[in-house]
Structure 1
Amino acid sequence: MKNKFLIFFLVGVYSISVLAQNDPKAENLANDVLEKVRSYDNISINFSYTLENIAEQLKEETRGEVYVEGNKYRLNLMGTTQIFDGSKLYTIIPADEEINISSVNSQDDNTITPSKMLTFFEDGYVYKWDIEQNQSGRKIQYIKLIPIDSNADYKNILLGVDKHTKNISNLIYTMNNGTRTEIKISSFKPNEPLSENTFKFDKSKYPDYYINELD
C-alpha cells in the first residue's frame, strides 16, 4: 500500500513539474523583451485601456499615457495623475481637488506598478508559446503567462510581442471572474528627452487642493 502511495505521489509531482516548465521559445522571447526594455534610459507610452465582462454587460474604454525612468513614473489615466519620484507616490485627483501622498515599497515584487509594466513577468509565471497575429502589417507573437501562484486573481496574461522590434504591443488579462482587461500600446518612444520636472510634484500648482498624507 505504501509503495502504491509513493508511486502516485511521484507521478503527481512529476506531472506538476511538467506543467510548470517554460516553453523554451516563449522563455527566449520573454528574455529578449526584458533585455530590450532594460537597455532604455526612459520610455514614453500612449495606450488604450479596455475592461470588459460580457456576462455583466460591462465595457469600459479609456486612454492614458505613462512616462517611466528607472523606478520613477508619471501616469495619466481616467482624469487622475500619479507621480512616483522614487520614494513618494502623489495621486492627483482634479475632480475632487484632492491629492493623496503615500510611501511606496518599490521592492515589493507582488505589486505591479507602471514602472514594472514592461518587466513584471520576469518572475512568478510559466511561459507558454501562443498564437501569432498580423496586426497592421506587424507580426505579433503572443506568450501566455500562467501565474505560479494558485491564488492569483487571474487565469493568465497574454503578452503580445512585436517580433521585429521585440517591444510589447499589448497585454490581455483574463480574470477568474470572467473580466477581460487589455492594455494596448499605441505609441512607444524610448529615450525621449524628458523635462526634469516630469517626476517631481509641485505643491504650488495646487493651492486649493486638499492634501491627504496617508503615512
Structure 2
Amino acid sequence: MKMKRFTFFILMLAATVHTVFGQREAKAQAILDKTAAAYQKAGGIAITFGGTQQGTLLLKESCFYLDCAGIKSWFDGKTQWSYAQTDEVTLSTPSPEEIQSVNPYALITSYKTKFNYRYIGSKNRNGKQGQEVLLTPRQTGDVKSITLTVSAAYEPLYIGISLSNGETQEFNITSYQTNRNLSISDFRFDKKKYPNAEVIDLR
C-alpha cells in the first residue's frame, strides 16, 4: 500500500511540474509575442545601453546600426559593414547566428523557431518593474541562454546573454525611443565620412 501511495504521489508531482512548466511556457510565449508586436509597430528605434559595455543602437525592421566598444557596425538587411578605429572597414554577408551575436534584438523575431523559453517572474531592472523570460537555444552553439526582461509596455529593459565559454554579456537599456525617422542610409557605411578607411571585402 505504501508503495502504491508513493507511486501515486510521484505521478501527481510529475503532472503538477509538467502543468507549471506548461503555464510558464505559455506565459513566456505571450510576453514574447506582445514584445515582438510592439517592436514591429515601433518603426525606427533609437536605444542607448550600459552594462558589460556601453553604446547606442538604431533599429528598423531587419536593419541595425551599432556603436559599441570602439566598433561601428551597419547592417542593411543583407550586407554588414564593421568599422574599427584602426581605420579599416570589413564588408560581409553575415549568417542569422552572426547577426544575433552582434544585434541582441534579433532574438525578438527568431524566438519561435530557434529557442525554448519559460517565464521566470517579475524582476526590477533599472528601477523599473518588468517580466522576465529565459530563452535557451534549441541547437548547441556559442549562446547558452538569454535572459530578457520587458516593461509593462513590452519594451526591453534588460538583455543578458550567457555564453558557452562562461562569459556573460549584459545590456541594460537606459533609453528607448520609438518612431524615429530612420532611412536605409542610416544602416549603410558612408565612405565619404571615412575617406581614409581601408575596405576589406569578405563577401
Question: Could you state the TM-score of these two structures normalised by the residue count of structure 1?
Answer: 0.73
**Residues 82 and 136 (structure 1), Cα distance of their counterparts in 2 relative to 1, 3 Å cut:** closer
For residues 119-198 of structure 1, what are the structure 2 equivalents within 5 Å? 119-135=109-125, 137-149=127-139, 151-162=140-151, 164-194=152-182, 197-198=185-186
The alpha carbon displacement at 1:140 in A equals 1.4
Q: Report if aligned partners of 1:49, 1:64 keep a CA contact under 8 Å in 2.
A: no
Deviations 1:43-77 (A, max 9, x none): 11111241xxxxxxxxxxx2111111122211101
Q: Answer yes or no: is 1:206 the counterpart of 2:194.
A: yes
**Residues 137 and 183 (structure 1), Cα distance of their counterparts in 2 relative to 1, 3 Å cut:** closer
SS class of match (1:122)? helix
Distance 1:66 1:82 in 2: 10
Distance 2:127 2:82 in 1: 38
**Residues 98 and 184 (structure 1), Cα distance of their counterparts in 2 relative to 1, 3 Å cut:** same
**Residues 158 and 97 (structure 1), Cα distance of their counterparts in 2 relative to 1, 3 Å cut:** same
Which stretches of structure 1, 4 residues or more, deviate above 6 A after TM superposition? none
The alpha carbon displacement at 1:173 in A equals 2.0
Distance 1:170 1:177 in 2: 21
The answer for unaligned runs of 5 or more in structure 1 is: 1-14, 51-61
SS class of match (1:165)? coil
SS class of match (1:34)? helix
**Residues 171 and 196 (structure 1), Cα distance of their counterparts in 2 relative to 1, 3 Å cut:** closer
Aligned to 2:47: 45
Distance 1:155 1:99 in 2: 30
Q: Report if aligned partners of 1:130, 1:144 keep a CA contact under 8 Å in 2.
A: yes
Instruction: Let me know the Cα RMSD of the aligned residues.
Output: 2.7
Q: How many residues were matched structurally?
A: 184
SS class of match (1:158)? strand
Distance 1:144 1:31 in 2: 14
**Residues 206 and 146 (structure 1), Cα distance of their counterparts in 2 relative to 1, 3 Å cut:** closer
Distance 1:122 1:183 in 2: 22
Letter in 2 for 1:153: D
Aligned to 2:91: 101
The alpha carbon displacement at 1:109 in A equals 6.3
Distance 2:107 2:67 in 1: 14
Letter in 1 for 2:49: F
Question: Could you state the TM-score of these two structures normalised by the residue count of structure 2?
Answer: 0.77
**Residues 180 and 193 (structure 1), Cα distance of their counterparts in 2 relative to 1, 3 Å cut:** same
Which of the numbers 23, 36, 39 marks the counterpart of 2:38?
36
SS class of match (1:211)? strand
The answer for unaligned runs of 5 or more in structure 2 is: 1-14
Q: Report if aligned partners of 1:118, 1:168 keep a CA contact under 8 Å in 2.
A: no
Task: Answer 1 or 2: which has greater helix percent.
Answer: 2
The alpha carbon displacement at 1:103 in A equals 2.7
Identity of aligned residues (%): 23
The alpha carbon displacement at 1:152 in A equals 3.0
Deviations 1:56-102 (A, max 9, x none): xxxxxx211111112221110111111122332111112x1111122
Distance 2:93 2:47 in 1: 25
Distance 1:109 1:177 in 2: 17
